[in-house]
Amino acid sequence: MEKEDVNVRVHDIQIKGNKRTKDWVIESVLGKMKEATTLQDILLEAAKASVQMERMDVFERWVINFDVGPPELPGTTNVIVEVVEPERPYSCNVGMFSRPESRKWSLEGTLKWKNLLGYGETWDGTGCYGWDSTAENSVGVNFPRFRTWPAGFFTRVSLLSQDWHKYSSYKERLLGVSTGLIHDNNHELSYNLTWRNLADPSHRASKTVRGQLGHSLLSAVKYSYRLDTRDSSVRPTEGFAFSTSSQIAGLGPDARLSRFFRQELDFRFAVPLGVFNAALNLGASAGLIVPWGKDFLSKSTPLSDRFYMGGPSCLVSELRGPFSLVGFRTRGVGPRELRRLVKSGNEEEIGKRDTLGGDFAINGFADLSFDLPLKFLKEHDIHAHVFACSGNILSLADRKNMTAQKFFSGFRSSVGAGLVIPTRMFRLEINYCRVLKYQENDRVRKGFQLCFSPP
Amino acid sequence: MAEKKNNGGMALRVRPPAFGLPTACPKCLASLLYLRLANITFWPEYSAAMPDSDDLPMVELGLLVGFASEPGGVEEFLRTEKLGDLDADLAEVDRSELKAFKSLLVPLSDALQLELWSRENESIAHKIYVSHLPWPINRAIEWNMRRKLMNRLGVNKENAKDREAEIYKCAFDAYEAFSAKKQMDSLYLVSDKPTSLDAMLLAHILFVLSVPLVGSILKDELVSKHPLLVQYAESMKDTLLKSNEPSPSDSVKSPPTSPRASSHASSSSRDKDKGTNPEPKRKQTPKEKEFRKRGKMFVMAQLAALMAYIVYSGLPFEEDDGDDNGHDDD
């Protein structure tokens, strides 16, 4: 068999053990097995089918057997697929989580139901309630294989409320449907239709925020490409990662849709230094959002889609755009505007500002990590790092008066050092930061900071 | 005498114009006419994304803002901030009469809303409130606004005819009262100067006369039985509806980029942290001190719990170093 092809054809495919799953779902996984003409091709297709069955994640176990075909048809084989479906196709997780950046707790629960309709799909419902009455509820369904399409298909309906009152004097409610057509390790293509409503119940928003309150509809396609060759996302010592995300909103004949183009780029690079398991990580991120359509130069971008910089973040592991700038508070960097003056109100509120976000953001960092000379710490891969980062964030309204000198002088920068505790579930950093340069009205956070990031 | 003040920096945020009116929303129109009668300089800014908000109309002067949803609305804000008061010079007797007649505006408003949100005038309400929003959210908001109004008015399928008759009767009684009041030989309703009552009633009448509501019972009643009120509104129409304000914002859908947003992002920088906060330093209140102390304790408790978990669970970090031991699977 290793030296020459063995001519065998598939005569019949039999599916056994499926009480709920439709036959065609399993047959579609087998791909081109029926068209295979050699034993080698049949075994290759069987291996591919095995991978697909695992991705579907709706069976407890499965086995693909081959039996001799009917005697009157020599050179044929029958393929027998036996599956065992789980008795309990549902699972539930509930937990309390803390968010150090906002010093709040939230109760989160997830319910999953697999193969409810027999199409190999997974249904899930997620609820998240914060102690500050923010809430996120979503229901989704994921089809790992949709008929004969080569890729999976997922769709999700979500109702989300976010409270940005503390930073920008508005609360946001979103009701949306998102549908993904491509979703694999590198590529993701999705369409999102979301109804947004921004409100300010406290009546203290600044003029710019007041002008953006109300209802809007987002109809957008987003394409993301991600390539990560680093040896680890929690403690990378070698390799690079690249991520790009492009979103175009306003798809549809209705000119009243929110219209903008948004682009994000991330790049990470890790170089091993050979001693003390040290590695130098370099990274840069940039983002741009511009409106499009008639008179686009006079339009402003939606507050919800702008870039915001600041808050505790792990520079090395996260690839989510120009968000990170250690040493600054959440949404603490960038254009800000004075809030409404309420004469009879709380004196503490006087002089406070709303963060407006930026249309262009760029940041970069350098991080040197190394082992500490303690056996206990080495065993648990707890190591130290020193870092420096810098970033800038601008509004499109600044473009007319912008010069190269102004642009570079507007950069903020910080340095720091700390301890990194990587675990299977997250990467924890305990850092001490010192801000070297900031702009007027930035909200600086000096001293010790905690940061969690998923692996 | 009403205060005359040149407030060049005042903006009135209202719903968009339509049907020849500077703003097609009856509530916003009343505030706009108030400012014009008080000779207060302002410019209109249009907000089309908040059709169901009670905050409109709102008046903005620098950092000072007056919302319609706050007690007394725009009128009270102007009075409190000493920006204008049409009722300032009224005698006590006239002031009491003013309050009494203002209560008659409620049934007029209810009847007008009933007509505007009826099925026959669906397209009119759509044009005024939600035409600047995209489909399908405009339909959903329109449906919700109609439902809320009918609930507030107590109108349902069973009692629609009776309840409508009741609402119209109250409105007709209000017209009678205003007509009788206007018959007395004066230019305005209460005194020889315009008051807030004039602004509100004129807004109602001008809306009824200008907007082409289908089967408008209010319009028929006004035109046929209350010519004095119609004449009163027509005589003021050209003066009140002709705009003397600076140019309004160009776009209704997306407000222009605010120059303030860039001015506050100052380009001044500090090369060294000299221990001063970027925001104006002020004395911390006891509440703030307590909050900071609790925050630090929270962080320390989290850290201690995490370290204990790591130590006592013996949680290893397993990294796949990619070693291939050279074993074949066969």
Taking only the tens place, the pLDDT of each residue in B260-276 is 333 333 333 333 333 33
> To the nearest whole number, what is the mean pLDDT of chain B?
80
Q: Say how many Å lie between the first and final Cα of chain A, rounded.
A: 43
Distance from CA of A120 to the nearest CA of B (A): 29
Domain span at residue B158 reads 11-241
The CATH topology of domain A90-453 is: Porin (2.40.160)
Does the beta-carbon distance from A210 to B13 stay under 8 Å?
A: yes
> Is B304 at the interface with chain A, CB within 8 A?
no
Nearest to B266 among A100, A422, A440 (CB): A440
The CATH 2.40.160.50 portion of chain A extends over 90-453
* % of residues, chain B, pLDDT over 90: 60
ipTM of the shown complex: 0.77
Does the beta-carbon distance from A300 to B47 stay under 8 Å?
A: no
Residue B34 contacts residue B196 (beta carbons within 8 Å): yes
What local confidence, expressed as pLDDT, does residue B297 receive? 76
Let me know if residue B259 belongs to a domain.
Answer: no
- Chain A residues 177-236 within an 8 A CB cutoff of chain B: 195, 199, 203, 206-208, 210-217, 231-232, 234-235
Its CATH architecture, for the domain A9-84, is: Roll (3.10)
- Chain B residues 57-86 within an 8 A CB cutoff of chain A: 58, 60, 62-65, 67, 69-70
What local confidence, expressed as pLDDT, does residue A234 receive? 80
Does the beta-carbon distance from A340 to B63 stay under 8 Å?
A: yes
The CATH 3.10.20.310 portion of chain A extends over 9-84
Distance from CA of B29 to the nearest CA of A (A): 20
Residue B194 contacts residue B89 (beta carbons within 8 Å): no
Contacts within 8 Å (CB) and 24+ apart, B295-301: B295/A103, B298/A103, B299/A100, B299/A448, B299/A450
Taking only the tens place, the pLDDT of each residue in B184-231 is 657 788 888 899 999 999 999 999 999 999 999 999 999 999 999 999
Residue A174 contacts residue A194 (beta carbons within 8 Å): yes
> Is A334 at the interface with chain B, CB within 8 A?
yes
Structural domain tally of chain B?
A: 1
- Tokens matching residue A143: 């089809």
Taking only the tens place, the pLDDT of each residue in A203-232 is 999 999 999 999 999 999 999 999 999 988
For A32-71, the DSSP string reads TGGG--BHHHHHHHHHHHHHHHHHH---SEEEEEEEE--T
- Chain B residues 107-146 within an 8 A CB cutoff of chain A: 132-135, 137, 140-141
Q: Which residue in chain A has the smallest CA separation from B58? A: A210
Q: Which of the 8 DSSP states describes residue A425?
A: S
What local confidence, expressed as pLDDT, does residue B329 receive? 37
> Is A88 at the interface with chain B, CB within 8 A?
no
Let me know if residue B302 belongs to a domain.
Answer: no
pLDDT of B324 over the 80 cut: no
User: Which chain B residues touch A208 with a CB distance below 8 Å?
Assistant: 258, 260-261
Taking only the tens place, the pLDDT of each residue in A152-173 is 567 788 888 888 988 999 999 9
Does the beta-carbon distance from B273 to A216 stay under 8 Å?
A: no
When pLDDT is averaged across residues B122-130 and rounded to a whole number, the result is: 95
- Cβ-Cβ pairs closer than 8 A, A with B, add up to 181
Which residues of chain A are modeled with pLDDT < 70?
Answer: 1-3, 95-106, 130-135, 144-153, 344-349, 425, 454-455
pLDDT grade for B244, boundaries at 50, 70 and 90:
low
User: Which chain A residues touch B60 with a CB distance below 8 Å?
Assistant: 207, 210
> Is B284 at the interface with chain A, CB within 8 A?
no
Q: Cα(A222)–Cα(A217) distance, rounded to whole angstroms?
A: 16
Let me know if residue B142 belongs to a domain.
Answer: yes
> Is B42 at the interface with chain A, CB within 8 A?
no
What local confidence, expressed as pLDDT, does residue B12 receive? 96
Taking only the tens place, the pLDDT of each residue in B45-101 is 999 999 999 999 999 999 999 999 999 999 999 999 999 999 998 889 889 999 999
